[in-house]
Amino acid sequence: MSELAVAIDPVPVVGTSLSGRRCTLAPTVTIREQVYHWATLRPRLHAVPRFRGDVLIYVDMDVSGSVQGGNDPLGRRNELVLVALEQLVARRGREGRWWVHLSTFDDPSVSSIELATTLLDRNTLKKVRDVLLPTPPGGCSILGNSLWRAEREISQFNGTSVLCVLSDFELYDRRPSEVLERFANSEADEIVAISLTNPPPDELTGTSVTCAQLVATDDPVDLANHIIDAAGRAAAI
């Protein structure tokens, strides 16, 4: 399968981040052949503990870092999220259940990925793949509203939870420090910030957030393992 770009109407510049980066909506939805597969990465993926109960993996991403000019080192974060989720399914015990919620926090909403909270098993992996593998156009990373939706979902979930934000943290929120403080004080049992290229925000230093920075020279499987490890810690609670 060759790369396919589906054109949409471009959107004008809609904002500037605190670092001075201008924001535009990329004019294409990209559908590419998958490069990273669970079967080939499996020997390098971390183990998943056996557990009882229900664990929600809530992954909130900004798409803009994946498009041309963005800060995703490989432009393949969605594939590696999928690999992590496939590892959880493959190593799930009989007594525990994984749940997944996928969301993006780019504005305009045409750039969004959304999968409502869904039981994660072999039967639903196709749905997860269909949501993750197309790369939608990027917009401006506005975390605040998406974080509010995540908190509502997590508070209503009957089990333990992981809130994972994947971003370059070039945020366009009006008060990003307040948004990051809310993120650090999430009700989730495990809070993870995976920062692409850029260092994690200073506001997250010394908080309960597990931070990781991924750059182009890192092993791509590291991204999947950060999610797997967070899921394991939540399952052990």
Taking 50 as the pLDDT cut, the residues of the chain under it are 1-14, 27-29, 66-71, 110-111
Task: Evaluate whether 197 touches 73 at the Cβ level (below 8 Å).
Answer: yes
**């800060």: which residue's tokens?**
71
Residue pair 51/61 in contact (Cβ under 8 Å)? The answer is: no
Instruction: Find where tokens 């993996």 sit.
Output: 57
Burial class (CB in 10 A: 0-12, 13-18, 19+), 10: exposed
The pLDDT, as a whole number, for residue 135 is 62
Q: Which of 51, 49, 141 is nearest to 87 (CA)?
A: 49
CATH number at 4-235: 3.40.50.410
What local confidence, expressed as pLDDT, does residue 73 receive? 54
* pLDDT for position 98: 96
Q: What is the pLDDT of residue 78?
A: 87
| pLDDT at residue 33, rounded to an integer | 72
> Is 69 buried (19+), middle (13-18) or exposed (0-12) by CB count in 10 A?
exposed
Q: In the block, which residue shows the tokens 């925000």?
A: 201
CB 137 within 8 A of CB 8: yes
Give residue limits of the domains in the chain.
4-235
- Rounded to the nearest integer, the mean pLDDT of the chain is 82
Distance CA 140, CA 25 (A): 8
DSSP 23-53: EEE-SEEEE------HHHHGGGSPP-----E
